[in-house]
Amino acid sequence: MSKEKNALRNILVVIDPAMETQYALKRALKMNEILDGGVNIHLFISFEMDELRKSQDRFEFYCDNNWFAELVKPLVNENIDYTAEVFWTADWHHSILECVKRNDVDMIVMSDYMTDENRNDLTAAKWSLLRVSGCPVLIVHPKAQLHRKTILAAVNMQTANPRYVELNEKILKMTRMMAEAYGAEKHIVNAYEDSMEFPDRAKLLRDTGAKQENTHVQQGNPVEIISDVAETIDADVVVIGTLSRRGIMAAMRGNKSEEIIRKINRDVIILN
Protein backbone atom coordinates (compact mmCIF):
# COMPACT_ATOMS: atom_id res chain seq x y z
CA MET A 1 0.00 0.00 0.00
CA SER A 2 1.44 3.39 -0.98
CA LYS A 3 2.08 6.11 1.60
CA GLU A 4 -0.88 8.14 0.36
CA LYS A 5 -3.22 5.14 0.42
CA ASN A 6 -2.01 4.37 3.93
CA ALA A 7 -3.27 7.84 4.94
CA LEU A 8 -6.76 6.31 5.03
CA ARG A 9 -6.04 3.37 7.29
CA ASN A 10 -8.41 4.16 10.19
CA ILE A 11 -12.01 4.80 9.14
CA LEU A 12 -14.86 5.79 11.43
CA VAL A 13 -18.23 4.68 10.06
CA VAL A 14 -21.31 6.38 11.49
CA ILE A 15 -24.14 3.87 11.96
CA ASP A 16 -27.73 5.01 12.51
CA PRO A 17 -29.75 2.01 13.79
CA ALA A 18 -32.95 3.74 12.64
CA MET A 19 -31.94 3.20 9.02
CA GLU A 20 -32.46 -0.12 7.27
CA THR A 21 -29.52 0.25 4.86
CA GLN A 22 -26.11 1.39 6.09
CA TYR A 23 -24.68 3.05 2.99
CA ALA A 24 -21.65 4.37 4.87
CA LEU A 25 -20.62 0.86 5.87
CA LYS A 26 -21.01 -0.35 2.27
CA ARG A 27 -18.73 2.48 1.15
CA ALA A 28 -16.14 1.62 3.82
CA LEU A 29 -16.16 -2.04 2.71
CA LYS A 30 -15.52 -0.94 -0.88
CA MET A 31 -12.69 1.33 0.29
CA ASN A 32 -11.08 -1.63 2.03
CA GLU A 33 -11.32 -3.65 -1.20
CA ILE A 34 -9.89 -0.87 -3.37
CA LEU A 35 -7.11 -0.04 -0.93
CA ASP A 36 -5.98 -3.70 -0.88
CA GLY A 37 -7.14 -4.37 2.65
CA GLY A 38 -5.47 -3.15 5.81
CA VAL A 39 -8.27 -0.74 6.66
CA ASN A 40 -9.37 -0.63 10.29
CA ILE A 41 -13.05 0.23 10.71
CA HIS A 42 -14.51 1.73 13.87
CA LEU A 43 -18.30 1.72 14.13
CA PHE A 44 -19.91 4.69 15.86
CA ILE A 45 -23.42 3.42 16.57
CA SER A 46 -25.89 6.06 17.66
CA PHE A 47 -29.34 7.42 16.93
CA GLU A 48 -29.09 10.96 15.65
CA MET A 49 -31.59 12.92 17.70
CA ASP A 50 -32.09 15.54 14.98
CA GLU A 51 -33.20 12.82 12.57
CA LEU A 52 -35.64 11.43 15.10
CA ARG A 53 -37.11 14.87 15.72
CA LYS A 54 -37.52 15.47 11.96
CA SER A 55 -39.47 12.28 11.43
CA GLN A 56 -43.25 12.36 11.44
CA ASP A 57 -43.40 8.62 12.05
CA ARG A 58 -43.11 6.68 15.26
CA PHE A 59 -40.34 4.14 15.43
CA GLU A 60 -39.74 1.17 17.65
CA PHE A 61 -36.06 0.31 17.96
CA TYR A 62 -34.82 -3.05 19.00
CA CYS A 63 -31.11 -3.58 18.44
CA ASP A 64 -30.03 -6.82 20.06
CA ASN A 65 -27.10 -9.16 19.56
CA ASN A 66 -28.67 -10.58 16.40
CA TRP A 67 -28.97 -7.08 14.91
CA PHE A 68 -25.30 -6.38 15.70
CA ALA A 69 -24.17 -9.74 14.33
CA GLU A 70 -25.96 -9.01 11.06
CA LEU A 71 -24.42 -5.51 10.95
CA VAL A 72 -20.83 -6.73 11.29
CA LYS A 73 -21.26 -9.92 9.23
CA PRO A 74 -19.63 -8.39 6.10
CA LEU A 75 -16.67 -7.26 8.22
CA VAL A 76 -16.25 -10.72 9.72
CA ASN A 77 -16.57 -12.39 6.30
CA GLU A 78 -13.85 -10.14 4.86
CA ASN A 79 -11.65 -10.54 7.94
CA ILE A 80 -11.59 -6.77 8.47
CA ASP A 81 -10.37 -5.45 11.81
CA TYR A 82 -13.16 -3.51 13.49
CA THR A 83 -14.21 -2.06 16.81
CA ALA A 84 -17.55 -0.60 17.82
CA GLU A 85 -18.99 1.85 20.33
CA VAL A 86 -22.65 2.47 21.10
CA PHE A 87 -23.82 5.91 22.19
CA TRP A 88 -27.10 7.41 23.33
CA THR A 89 -26.38 11.12 23.27
CA ALA A 90 -27.93 14.47 22.46
CA ASP A 91 -24.41 15.82 21.82
CA TRP A 92 -23.96 13.73 18.69
CA HIS A 93 -21.24 15.61 16.81
CA HIS A 94 -19.06 16.17 19.90
CA SER A 95 -19.29 12.45 20.68
CA ILE A 96 -18.04 11.69 17.17
CA LEU A 97 -15.15 14.15 17.53
CA GLU A 98 -14.09 12.51 20.80
CA CYS A 99 -14.33 9.11 19.12
CA VAL A 100 -12.10 10.39 16.30
CA LYS A 101 -9.44 11.43 18.82
CA ARG A 102 -9.56 8.15 20.76
CA ASN A 103 -9.20 6.02 17.64
CA ASP A 104 -6.78 8.19 15.62
CA VAL A 105 -9.30 8.31 12.77
CA ASP A 106 -8.18 9.32 9.25
CA MET A 107 -11.66 9.73 7.73
CA ILE A 108 -15.28 9.87 8.89
CA VAL A 109 -17.80 8.14 6.62
CA MET A 110 -21.48 8.88 7.14
CA SER A 111 -24.65 8.43 5.12
CA ASP A 112 -27.04 11.08 3.94
CA TYR A 113 -30.47 9.66 3.27
CA MET A 114 -31.44 12.65 1.07
CA THR A 115 -34.73 14.44 0.52
CA ASP A 116 -37.59 13.81 -1.85
CA GLU A 117 -35.94 16.33 -4.19
CA ASN A 118 -32.88 14.04 -4.36
CA ARG A 119 -30.65 16.63 -2.69
CA ASN A 120 -28.53 16.41 0.46
CA ASP A 121 -30.50 17.47 3.53
CA LEU A 122 -28.10 17.34 6.44
CA THR A 123 -29.22 17.87 10.01
CA ALA A 124 -27.85 20.61 12.27
CA ALA A 125 -25.65 18.06 14.04
CA LYS A 126 -24.08 16.94 10.75
CA TRP A 127 -23.44 20.55 9.72
CA SER A 128 -21.75 21.15 13.08
CA LEU A 129 -19.50 18.15 12.52
CA LEU A 130 -18.50 19.29 9.02
CA ARG A 131 -17.54 22.75 10.25
CA VAL A 132 -15.10 21.59 12.91
CA SER A 133 -13.82 18.15 11.89
CA GLY A 134 -10.06 17.90 11.76
CA CYS A 135 -10.15 14.90 9.41
CA PRO A 136 -11.91 14.43 6.05
CA VAL A 137 -15.62 13.64 6.12
CA LEU A 138 -17.18 11.55 3.35
CA ILE A 139 -20.93 12.01 2.93
CA VAL A 140 -22.33 8.98 1.13
CA HIS A 141 -25.28 9.51 -1.18
CA PRO A 142 -27.58 6.46 -1.39
CA LYS A 143 -27.58 6.39 -5.21
CA ALA A 144 -23.84 6.91 -5.72
CA GLN A 145 -21.86 4.19 -7.48
CA LEU A 146 -19.61 2.12 -5.23
CA HIS A 147 -16.74 2.17 -7.72
CA ARG A 148 -15.35 5.60 -8.59
CA LYS A 149 -14.95 6.38 -12.29
CA THR A 150 -14.87 10.18 -12.18
CA ILE A 151 -13.61 12.39 -9.34
CA LEU A 152 -14.09 16.16 -9.30
CA ALA A 153 -11.94 18.48 -7.18
CA ALA A 154 -13.20 22.01 -6.54
CA VAL A 155 -10.29 24.42 -6.00
CA ASN A 156 -9.64 28.13 -5.74
CA MET A 157 -6.17 28.49 -7.26
CA GLN A 158 -6.28 32.25 -7.83
CA THR A 159 -6.03 33.10 -4.14
CA ALA A 160 -2.83 33.94 -2.28
CA ASN A 161 -4.44 33.47 1.14
CA PRO A 162 -2.20 30.92 2.94
CA ARG A 163 -5.19 29.11 4.48
CA TYR A 164 -6.80 28.58 1.07
CA VAL A 165 -3.47 27.58 -0.46
CA GLU A 166 -3.13 24.88 2.19
CA LEU A 167 -6.73 23.80 1.62
CA ASN A 168 -6.13 23.52 -2.14
CA GLU A 169 -3.15 21.27 -1.45
CA LYS A 170 -5.26 19.01 0.76
CA ILE A 171 -8.00 18.79 -1.87
CA LEU A 172 -5.54 17.93 -4.63
CA LYS A 173 -3.75 15.33 -2.49
CA MET A 174 -7.05 13.61 -1.65
CA THR A 175 -8.18 13.73 -5.29
CA ARG A 176 -4.87 12.32 -6.54
CA MET A 177 -5.00 9.49 -4.00
CA MET A 178 -8.62 8.60 -4.85
CA ALA A 179 -8.00 8.73 -8.61
CA GLU A 180 -4.95 6.49 -8.31
CA ALA A 181 -6.65 3.98 -6.01
CA TYR A 182 -9.83 3.67 -8.07
CA GLY A 183 -8.25 4.09 -11.50
CA ALA A 184 -10.61 7.04 -11.98
CA GLU A 185 -10.51 10.13 -14.18
CA LYS A 186 -9.52 13.25 -12.26
CA HIS A 187 -11.30 16.51 -13.08
CA ILE A 188 -10.63 19.98 -11.67
CA VAL A 189 -13.14 22.83 -11.44
CA ASN A 190 -12.07 26.37 -10.62
CA ALA A 191 -14.87 28.92 -10.49
CA TYR A 192 -14.24 32.65 -10.17
CA GLU A 193 -16.73 35.50 -9.80
CA ASP A 194 -14.60 38.54 -10.67
CA SER A 195 -13.07 38.75 -14.16
CA MET A 196 -9.99 40.32 -12.54
CA GLU A 197 -9.44 37.05 -10.66
CA PHE A 198 -9.13 34.79 -13.70
CA PRO A 199 -6.75 31.99 -12.65
CA ASP A 200 -3.53 31.35 -14.52
CA ARG A 201 -4.55 28.32 -16.59
CA ALA A 202 -0.98 27.17 -17.25
CA LYS A 203 -0.22 27.29 -13.51
CA LEU A 204 -3.51 25.54 -12.79
CA LEU A 205 -2.60 22.67 -15.11
CA ARG A 206 0.90 22.46 -13.67
CA ASP A 207 -0.16 22.55 -10.02
CA THR A 208 -3.07 20.14 -10.35
CA GLY A 209 -1.54 17.67 -12.79
CA ALA A 210 -4.90 17.40 -14.55
CA LYS A 211 -5.42 16.95 -18.27
CA GLN A 212 -6.36 20.13 -20.11
CA GLU A 213 -9.67 18.64 -21.24
CA ASN A 214 -10.44 17.73 -17.61
CA THR A 215 -9.86 21.24 -16.32
CA HIS A 216 -12.97 23.40 -16.02
CA VAL A 217 -12.41 27.12 -15.46
CA GLN A 218 -15.61 29.18 -15.51
CA GLN A 219 -16.77 32.58 -14.36
CA GLY A 220 -19.90 32.83 -12.24
CA ASN A 221 -21.48 31.58 -9.04
CA PRO A 222 -19.20 28.81 -7.68
CA VAL A 223 -22.17 26.89 -6.28
CA GLU A 224 -23.88 26.71 -9.66
CA ILE A 225 -20.68 26.04 -11.60
CA ILE A 226 -19.46 23.21 -9.37
CA SER A 227 -22.90 21.62 -9.35
CA ASP A 228 -23.24 21.94 -13.15
CA VAL A 229 -19.78 20.51 -13.86
CA ALA A 230 -20.40 17.60 -11.48
CA GLU A 231 -23.63 16.87 -13.36
CA THR A 232 -22.06 17.26 -16.82
CA ILE A 233 -19.16 14.88 -16.18
CA ASP A 234 -21.31 12.62 -13.96
CA ALA A 235 -18.83 12.81 -11.09
CA ASP A 236 -19.04 9.95 -8.61
CA VAL A 237 -17.56 12.07 -5.84
CA VAL A 238 -16.83 15.78 -5.40
CA VAL A 239 -13.95 16.88 -3.18
CA ILE A 240 -14.40 20.33 -1.64
CA GLY A 241 -12.91 22.37 1.16
CA THR A 242 -14.41 24.52 3.86
CA LEU A 243 -12.35 26.47 6.37
CA SER A 244 -13.16 25.22 9.85
CA ARG A 245 -15.06 27.57 12.10
CA ARG A 246 -15.06 27.95 15.87
CA GLY A 247 -17.13 29.79 18.44
CA ILE A 248 -20.06 31.83 17.18
CA MET A 249 -19.01 31.28 13.54
CA ALA A 250 -19.50 27.53 13.98
CA ALA A 251 -23.17 28.14 14.71
CA MET A 252 -23.73 30.07 11.46
CA ARG A 253 -24.71 28.61 8.11
CA GLY A 254 -24.41 30.00 4.65
CA ASN A 255 -20.92 29.59 3.22
CA LYS A 256 -20.53 28.40 -0.36
CA SER A 257 -19.29 24.94 0.61
CA GLU A 258 -22.50 24.27 2.50
CA GLU A 259 -24.58 25.50 -0.43
CA ILE A 260 -22.69 23.11 -2.73
CA ILE A 261 -23.28 20.16 -0.40
CA ARG A 262 -26.99 20.91 -0.34
CA LYS A 263 -27.23 21.23 -4.12
CA ILE A 264 -25.40 18.21 -5.50
CA ASN A 265 -26.77 14.67 -5.42
CA ARG A 266 -23.61 12.59 -5.21
CA ASP A 267 -20.90 11.62 -2.73
CA VAL A 268 -18.96 14.53 -1.25
CA ILE A 269 -15.65 14.62 0.62
CA ILE A 270 -15.24 17.68 2.82
CA LEU A 271 -11.83 18.86 4.00
CA ASN A 272 -10.93 21.60 6.50
Q: Return the ∠ at Cα 181 (arms to 188 and 153), rounded to 5°.
A: 15
Q: What gap in Å lies between CA 33 and CA 78, rounded to an integer?
A: 9
Q: Tell me which long-range contacts 167-170 makes (C-beta under 8 A, separation of at least 24).
A: 167/241, 167/243, 167/271, 167/272, 168/207, 168/241, 170/241, 170/271
How high is the pLDDT of residue 62? Answer: 62
| Digitized pLDDT (tens) for each residue of the chain, 272 residues in all | 455 555 788 999 999 888 889 999 999 999 898 888 879 999 999 987 666 665 555 555 567 889 999 999 999 999 999 999 998 888 899 999 999 999 999 999 998 866 545 555 677 788 889 888 999 999 998 888 778 899 999 999 888 889 889 999 999 999 999 999 889 999 999 999 888 888 888 888 999 999 999 999 999 999 999 999 999 999 999 999 986 544 433 333 446 777 888 888 889 999 98
Q: What gap in Å lies between CA 211 and CA 215, rounded to an integer?
A: 6
Which residues on neighbouring strands pair with residue 191, listed in sequence order?
A: 218
Q: Find all residues with CB under 8 Å of 37, minimum gap 6, and list them.
A: 80
DSSP sequence for 206-225: HHH---GGGEEEEES-HHHH
Domains 5-140 and 150-271 share a fold: yes
Contact 134, 272 (CB under 8 A): yes
Q: What gap in Å lies between CA 109 and CA 67, rounded to an integer?
A: 21
The DSSP symbol for 141 reads P
How high is the pLDDT of residue 120? Answer: 59
Q: Residue 166: name the closest of 218, 237, 241 by CA.
A: 241
Q: What is the pTM of this model?
A: 0.88
- Class of the CATH domain delimited by 5-140: alpha beta
Q: What gap in Å lies between CA 26 and CA 48, rounded to an integer?
A: 19
How high is the pLDDT of residue 98? Answer: 95
DSSP E strands: which ranges in 58-140?
82-87, 107-111, 137-140
Domain parsing of the chain, residue ranges? 5-140, 150-271
How high is the pLDDT of residue 170? Answer: 94
Q: Residue 237: name the closest of 2, 31, 80, 97 by CA.
A: 31
Which residues on neighbouring strands pair with residue 13, listed in sequence order?
A: 43, 109
Contact 170, 201 (CB under 8 A): no
How high is the pLDDT of residue 245? Answer: 46
Q: What gap in Å lies between CA 204 and CA 187, rounded to an integer?
A: 12
* CATH architecture, domain 150-271: 3-Layer(aba) Sandwich (3.40)
Q: Are strands 150-154 and 40-46 parallel, antiparallel or unpaired?
A: unpaired
